[in-house]
Structure 1
Amino acid sequence: MTIGKIHSIETCGTVDGPGIRFVTFLQGCPLRCQFCHNPDTWDTHKGTEYTPTDLVNEILKYKSYMKFSGGGTTFTGGEPLLQADFVKEAFELCKKNDISTALDTSGFIFNDKVKEVLEYTDIVLLDIKNFDPEVYKSVTGVALENTLAFLDYIREKNINTWVRYVLVPGLTDNLKSITKLANHLKEYPNVSRIELLPFHKMGEYKWEELGYDYTLKDTMEPSLALINEVKSIFETCGVSVYANI
């Protein structure tokens, strides 16, 4: 029996996909993003254990809310694809119960098991941290290539995709790279929305509690002018751009 490790659950989420959503935060992440607001999800040895059936039984309690609002369930993290077998089994059960599924991922983990998960995925929320490979490596600690291969695959499978971009002054606000990303995304008709997420420090206290070095303590939140400038660049893709301000 597959066992999943769950960090936490949000029963009526409204920011991780359309409608009202049952959001499951899975434990474990291979990335070490400088701006991560959930560093407490990194450790793969922590979390509460669930079977796919146990978790889906919890999700089903909120089915009426999800159906009424056009929502569903979202698996995020951490990086949910570290537990691909568990996610696949849970998503398969959700689909059998007519519950829409969304996967919030960095796309870094990309293999045959992930492709099986995507067979049961209605929406991908793809977090692209930067389009410059060197900046991406600096921001996340890992390489960009897998994410771009993942993006190509979900285009091939025509999976509805929302791209997420966190805007951090002095780190991910390189406008030439953002313009290159916008131009790149024009080639992906499955991308239906871009979410621009301005940097915030709400997770800083978690870094301190865990004894991690938070390198962005002196970084300011992006100005409205910068947010609007980046939003205008992304709007050249021809899809709706949502700036969370």
Structure 2
Amino acid sequence: MSADLAVRPEACSTLTGAVHSWDLSTGVDGPGTRFVLFTAGCPLACAYCHNPDTQSMRGGTRHTADEMLARVARYRRFIAASGGGFTISGGEPLLQPAFTTAMLAGGKELGLHTALDTSGALGDRAGDALLDATDLVLLDVKAIDPAIYEDLTRFDLSPTLRFADRLATRGQRVWVRFVLVPGWNDAPEHLERHAAYVASLGNVERVDVLGYHRLGREKYARLGLVDRLEGVDAASPEQVQAAREVFAAAGLYAP
């Protein structure tokens, strides 16, 4: 675990982060209507990423934490009335742990529910101050088999599992996300193993099974990137429902 990344409130006026974009969303980035800040930069190269333009920090614009918190504050009453809050996503927000800590702590100071949307791949960079300021972790566990995970992401699975275990030890509230990619991570034995692991953590409140889709694939050609899932069909509603039933059979809430 990294050293605690406490950020003094007065430092927020000069502390900057690489921001890709921001938006308001309902129902997909945590409970209620939420202000979602998308940071730029990610160490993973997920085959199914529908926003590959967020993978490089060069694609972001520098903003201070104060600037972004002022923007969040404009929507504070609206999102609080819906039972919503503030979510920091990416890219991968833990690539910028000091900025992410400041944003989450600032969200708490605004009286908002806070959520961290992460792959967990850089979980070792999350200090206790960051997690203390986080009400909910949206943890994207992309595969439970190390070889499949590396094939999908070009990264090692072990940091994500280490982070998940740390969150379980802390009793941190977690929603797990899982993108179902036909022919890659949808084998019944893989799903059953994945569900068993998630259920064993004891702190996972729900599992969101998301079907792979081809929206945004045109970005790959525009960015000069290879589409490694060229020819792979989108996950059908029936395939997604079957996967949800596997997680539900393990005692998990999988709406």
User: TM-score normalised to the size of structure 1?
Assistant: 0.95
Matches within 5 A, 1:1-245: 1-242=14-255
- State the Cα distance separating 1:190 from its structure 2 match: 1.3
- Matched AA of 1:94: G
- Matched AA of 2:15: T
Distance in 2 separating the partners of 1:227 and 1:154: 27
- State the Cα distance separating 1:225 from its structure 2 match: 2.8
Unaligned runs of 5+ in 1: none
Distance in 2 separating the partners of 1:174 and 1:136: 14
Which deviates further from its counterpart, 144-153 or 217-226?
A: 217-226
- State the Cα distance separating 1:13 from its structure 2 match: 4.1
Distance in 1 separating the partners of 2:155 and 2:127: 18
Does the residue aligned with 2:230 lie in a helix, a strand or coil? coil
The percent of aligned pairs where both chains have the same amino acid is 36
- State the Cα distance separating 1:14 from its structure 2 match: 3.4
Q: Count how many residue pairs are aligned between Structure 1 and Structure 2.
A: 242
| Residue 3 of structure 2: aligned partner | none
Residues 22 and 74, structure 1, Cα contact 8 Å, conserved in 2: yes
Distance in 2 separating the partners of 1:230 and 1:113: 30
Residues 25 and 75, structure 1, Cα contact 8 Å, conserved in 2: yes
What does the per-residue CA deviation read over 1:166-188, in whole Å, with 9 as the maximum and x for residues that have no partner?
A: 00111121221110111112222
Distance in 2 separating the partners of 1:72 and 1:203: 27
Distance in 2 separating the partners of 1:226 and 1:12: 25
Distance in 1 separating the partners of 2:55 and 2:254: 29
Distance in 2 separating the partners of 1:31 and 1:156: 25
- Matched AA of 1:182: A
Residues 81 and 114, structure 1, Cα contact 8 Å, conserved in 2: no
Residues 80 and 87, structure 1, Cα contact 8 Å, conserved in 2: yes
- State the Cα distance separating 1:115 from its structure 2 match: 3.5
Distance in 1 separating the partners of 2:185 and 2:54: 22
| Residue 5 of structure 2: aligned partner | none
- State the Cα distance separating 1:228 from its structure 2 match: 2.0
- Matched AA of 1:58: R
Q: CA RMSD in A?
A: 1.3
User: TM-score normalised to the size of structure 2?
Assistant: 0.91
Does the residue aligned with 1:187 lie in a helix, a strand or coil? helix
Unaligned runs of 5+ in 2: 1-13
- State the Cα distance separating 1:110 from its structure 2 match: 2.2
Residues 106 and 126, structure 1, Cα contact 8 Å, conserved in 2: yes
Residues 97 and 125, structure 2, Cα contact 8 Å, conserved in 1: no
Aligned pair in 2 of structure 1 residues 112, 164: CA closer, same or farther (>3 Å)? Answer: closer
Distance in 2 separating the partners of 1:59 and 1:178: 38
What does the per-residue CA deviation read over 1:51-82, in whole Å, with 9 as the maximum and x for residues that have no partner?
A: 11111110011111211111101111110100
